[in-house]
Structure formats: structure tokens, C-alpha cells
Chain A
Amino acid sequence: MSEIILDIKKISVIFNKMFFGRSQTIKAIDNVSLQIFNSETFGIVGESGSGKSTLGNAMIGLQTLSSGEIFYKEIALPLSGTKDWMRLRRQLQIIFQDPFTSLNPRRTIGQSLAEPIITHNLCSKNDVTSKVLSLLDQVGLNSNMAERYPNAFSGGQLQRICIARALAVQPQLIICDEITSALDVSTQAQIISLLKDLKLNQDLSLVFISHDLGLVRNIADRILVMYLGRIVEIGSSDIIFSDPKHPYTQALINAAPIPEPSREAARIKTPLFGEIPDPQNPPSGCFFRTRCNQVHDRCLIETPALKQVKKNQFVSCHHTEVH
């Protein structure tokens, strides 16, 4: 196995909100440990409120942890402002969901792309322009676009520019937080192919956060399934999609439509009952027990630990021992 670039050790993120004097705590991430390897694509799936975006932010040090540690190549992710911080900012990048708010509307594309180059002194002042143009070229955009403002572009083009901006510092890891969910299918395909091409040409790891299972299966080497801030199942993408062990993963895959009418019609659909529990007041024991169809007494009391079931598959469910 290749080198570990990000080692996440038992992290939790707790949000405190004061509401009319009463404090409410939400555990957005609950005791999550995982590793990201060099030049892999790691997918994170889960429904809204599962904590997948918070985890993405935490991975690059943009989210204060309540407990636990994250190591980037054996350096602990420092808090902002320290000396290591600037160095890490060149290694860890993020691209956001909404391309329309990801670029400052009052700065030209060229100015936006030049910012990371200037901030990190990546080249001499005279070469900034040529560097910006080569970045635009790298993501398949015309050089004359540098002069224009973001409102002159379509969502897909803007997302390409965001990719170019993230690439400007030549990072080791890019978090892609739902980067195609605001785009059309054909544009989404363009962006995904672009990411795949870029990955081939350089040493780059991607964390791909999405609610679209088809997309994640298509791009990710390994995936993580999250539910209410906890790891449900983690492992090789192909193994999990073909043989999901956790009842939640099974339900999720079962719910995602297959774009082939005959095979879709032949499937036996077993929809999940109930709703995601209130994160302020999560159930005891296994978080999924309120919607699971195979609960027993143990699930009410004990939180299941993450257990290995196959070479590349880890599941947190009490039933996996029975299997």
C-alpha cells in the first residue's frame, strides 16, 4: 500500500449553539478515524446532515476539532496562524459546491487565479501572468477569459476555474465538496473527466464528497459511508458497492436508481422507513437502530465498533459478526 498522506485519529467536532440561554450541542463528527493514501481518490457519501462536509473541512484544517488529531505526513495539522500553517496551505486545498459563489464577483478571473501564486511567492512577478494562462489552459479554458468577471461564465466554466485555482499551489490533496451537484449531467461528466486527467498527470489525492452514489462509484478507489457523524462502512469502492454489509449502506445503494429501465424495474426495492433522527438528540447505541430492520437488544445499548470483514472492508454493525 502506498504512503499515508493524511492520518485522522479519533476526531470529533461538536457544534454548540446558544438558543434563548439554552445551549444545544450537535455532534457533527463523532470519533472518526481514517487514512488517506497518496494519489488515491477517496469518496465520502451520506445523506444531508451526515457530517460529510464538516469532515472535509476538518481534513484540511479549516474546522476546529473538539477532540482527536489529524496528521499530514506526520505533521499535526496546526491551528491557523502558525508557521506550518502557510506550508500546509500549499498542500491541502478545497473546492466548494456552488461555483457561482466560489469566485469573488468583483475580481477578474486572472486576479483570482493570481492570488494563490502571489500569496505563496510561487514565481517572480513577471511570470504571474503566464502562470495564470497556463493554469487556464490546464483546465481547458481560453486565455482571453482571464480578463473577464465571474458573471460572464457558466457554472461548469466557473468550476473549472475553481479547479485551476486549487491547482495553482500544486497541492497534494484536494477536497471536492459536492463540486458537481450544481451542474448539469453533461457538464458534470466534463468536470469528472478533467479531474481524472489531472490526477493521471500528477501526484494528487482527491477526497470526493457527494450524495450521488453513481458518481462516487465512478471516481473513487475507496469510499466512506457516513451516518449522523459516524463511520458506517469504509473500504474499497468496488467491494462496498457490490457487497455492502451495513444495512444503511444497503439501503442507500438500493435507493439510488440505476439508469437502465429493465434492470431498475427488476430490482427489489426496500425503502428505508422513518427519518434521520434529530442530531441534537441521537438514539442510544447504534445511531441507525431507529431505521434498521434487524435491530436487537445489543444495538440499543452498545455503539458498534468498526470491524474488518474483508481485506478492504470495515463495517460498524453488531450483525457483521453473525455473517
Chain B
Amino acid sequence: MTIKLMKLPIIIFSTLGLLTLISAIFPQFLTPYHPDEIDVTALLQKPSWSHPFGCDELGTDVLARIIYGTRLELMVCLGSVALASIFGIPCGLVAGYFGGKIDWILTVIADSILSFPIILFAVLIVASLGASVLTLVGVLAFAFIPRIFRLIRGQTQIISSLGYVRSAEAMGVKTVKILFLHILPNTIGPLMVIVPQLMAIAVLIEAGLSFIGLGIQPPQISWGSLLLVSKNYYVAAPWYPLAVGGVTTLAAAVLVFSGDLAGAAVNPLRRLK
């Protein structure tokens, strides 16, 4: 019975995921308009069947701009989480498995990064290094490393005491193999919960930074840069900022929820029979 109940959200979330992927790779399939097409006859046009979210100050279809903005958005999300995982996962495995001094040093470093507010940190770095997609990815990754590290470290500590790891030790299996073959695959569940949550944070921070002009700069399109422009028209064309803000919020919410779902889906106790 639980399986049937689980199916509906899986369908919804995978459809949304597919839509995101298509808009990032082949945005032209989803909208007939070009995001830079200027149409002076349609300045700040109200939503209609042909322009569901209306048009912006240059007469460009807002939906088209949102769809074309997905690519950078996704790059920032995935890039930052991937980069953070590359550093966070091995550090977490080593700290959790060996313990002792290495663990102490890594944990102190991670905690000091964690104690710094992300936004403030991002503002400082972007202000000094200049705003670009790469800086944004780097800053977010840096902020995410300790979060991934802590999760992997905790999981590793638990799994290290389990019979299959200790049997592998008794068997003389190489430590690297123990870490990546026995421990890492069994941390995937909790990792799948936290990754979409981090991606949601990435979406929101990108929007926030771009909104104050420190993120992605126009003419590059991202949801944050759209938000920055659209706020000027909130009286004349309220649907414009609403559409952009709504999509951003919805994306973040969907990501958070899909984390729990993904975590349940990869649980070996349910899946592999």
C-alpha cells in the first residue's frame, strides 16, 4: 500500500526534474520565443495565452527568460554541490574512519567555516573577487563542504562499527577499499536527503546575491538577475516579479521535498529485494 502512495510524488517530482533538465539543455523545445527577442509592441504586456507570464520591459516573453535562465541556475546548483562533495566526502570518510587527531583538525576547520553566515561570506568574497558564475560556484561550494563533511563523518562513524566493516578489516581488505566500497555506498541515503537541500540553498543564495547585484550579471540570465530587473516594475506589471519570485520559491521548495523522497527511494532495505 505504501508503494502505491509513494508513486504519485515520484511521478510529479520526476516530471519536474525532467522539465528542468530540458529547459537547461534544450530550452528552445519548451518555448517558441527567444529570451533576447525585443518586441516594442508588447512592452510589459499582461499575461495571456500566448505569453502566460506576460512580457517584460522590452517586450520579451517572461516565461522564455525564466526557462533560459534555468541553465545557469542548474550549473550553480549542481556545480557547487559537486565541488563540495569532491572535497567534503573524502575528508568526512577519513575523519570518521580514523578518528583521533586528523578527525579533530578537520572538524575544527569545518566548524569554523560553519560558524560563518553564508550570505555575509558570499558578499565578502564576491565583492573582492568580482561577480561571476565561477566565483558564485566556488563560494557556495566552500560553504557546503563542512555540511557534507559533517554528514559523511557521522555516517562513517556509525558504519565503521558495523559487522561488515569490521569483518572486512579482519579479512585484510585495503583501507581505501573499505572506505569507498563498504562505507561510502551506505552513506548515499542521507546524502541524497542533504544534496537537494543544499541545492535549494544554492538557488536562494544565487537569487539573493544577484538581487543585490553581486551574483550573475545581466545580460546573463538567471532567476536572480531576472528578479533584480523585475523588481522595478512591481507596480506597473506585478505579474512580472511575481512570476520570477514564484518560480524561484517553488524550485527551492520542490528541492527540499524531493530530498526526503530521494532518501527513501535509495534505501536498500526497501529497494533491493
B171 adjacent to A62 (CB under 8 Å): no
Q: Does A105 make an interface contact (CB < 8 A)?
A: yes
Given the interface contacts A85-B172, A104-B186, A119-B172, does A96 sit within 8 Å of B167 by beta carbon? yes
A92 adjacent to B168 (CB under 8 Å): no
In the complex, what distance in Å separates the CA atom of A165 from the CA atom of B170? 11
**Taking the nearest CB of chain A, how far is it from the CB of B97, in angstroms?**
13
What residues of A have a CB within 8 angstroms of the CB of B182 in the complex? 104
Chain B interface mostly = helix
Per-position 1/0 for B233-273, Cβ under 8 A of A:
00000000000000000000000000000000000110011
Q: What are 27 sample pairs from A and B whose C-beta atoms fall under 8 A apart?
A: A62-B166, A62-B170, A80-B169, A89-B171, A89-B172, A90-B172, A94-B166, A94-B167, A97-B163, A101-B162, A101-B164, A102-B163, A102-B167, A105-B186, A105-B269, A106-B185, A106-B272, A115-B173, A119-B171, A119-B174, A149-B268, A149-B272, A151-B268, A151-B269, A162-B163, A162-B167, A165-B171
Interface centre among B164, B169, B185 (most CB of A within 10 A): B164
With A106-B185, A115-B168 given, name 13 new contacts (CB 8 A): A62-B169, A90-B172, A101-B163, A102-B163, A103-B163, A104-B181, A105-B268, A105-B269, A112-B164, A115-B171, A116-B171, A120-B171, A165-B167
Residue of B nearest to A149 (CB): B272
Seen from chain A, the residues whose Cβ lies within 8 Å of a Cβ on chain B are 60, 62, 80, 85-86, 89-90, 92-99, 101-107, 112, 115-116, 119-120, 149, 151-152, 162, 165-166, 169
B172 adjacent to A102 (CB under 8 Å): no
In the complex, what distance in Å separates the CA atom of A147 from the CA atom of B24? 39
What residues of A have a CB within 8 angstroms of the CB of B172 in the complex? 85-86, 89-90, 119-120
In the complex, what distance in Å separates the CA atom of A90 from the CA atom of B166? 15
In the complex, what distance in Å separates the CA atom of A120 from the CA atom of B210? 56
In the complex, what distance in Å separates the CA atom of A165 from the CA atom of B162? 16
What residues of A have a CB within 8 angstroms of the CB of B166 in the complex? 62, 94, 96
Seen from chain B, the residues whose Cβ lies within 8 Å of a Cβ on chain A are 162-164, 166-174, 181-182, 185-186, 268-269, 272-273
In the complex, what distance in Å separates the CA atom of A106 from the CA atom of B171? 18
A169 adjacent to B164 (CB under 8 Å): no
In the complex, what distance in Å separates the CA atom of A102 from the CA atom of B169? 12
**Taking the nearest CB of chain A, how far is it from the CB of B156, in angstroms?**
14
Residue of A nearest to B168 (CB): A115
What residues of B have a CB within 8 angstroms of the CB of A92 in the complex? 170
In the complex, what distance in Å separates the CA atom of A93 from the CA atom of B171? 7
Residue of A nearest to B171 (CB): A116
What residues of B have a CB within 8 angstroms of the CB of A149 in the complex? 268, 272-273
In the complex, what distance in Å separates the CA atom of A85 from the CA atom of B169? 11
**Taking the nearest CB of chain B, how far is it from the CB of A20, in angstroms?**
16
**Taking the nearest CB of chain B, how far is it from the CB of A105, in angstroms?**
4
Q: Which 10 residue pairs are nearest across A and B when measured between Cβ atoms?
A: A89-B172, A102-B163, A96-B163, A101-B162, A149-B272, A105-B268, A104-B164, A106-B185, A116-B171, A101-B163
What residues of B have a CB within 8 angstroms of the CB of A95 in the complex? 167
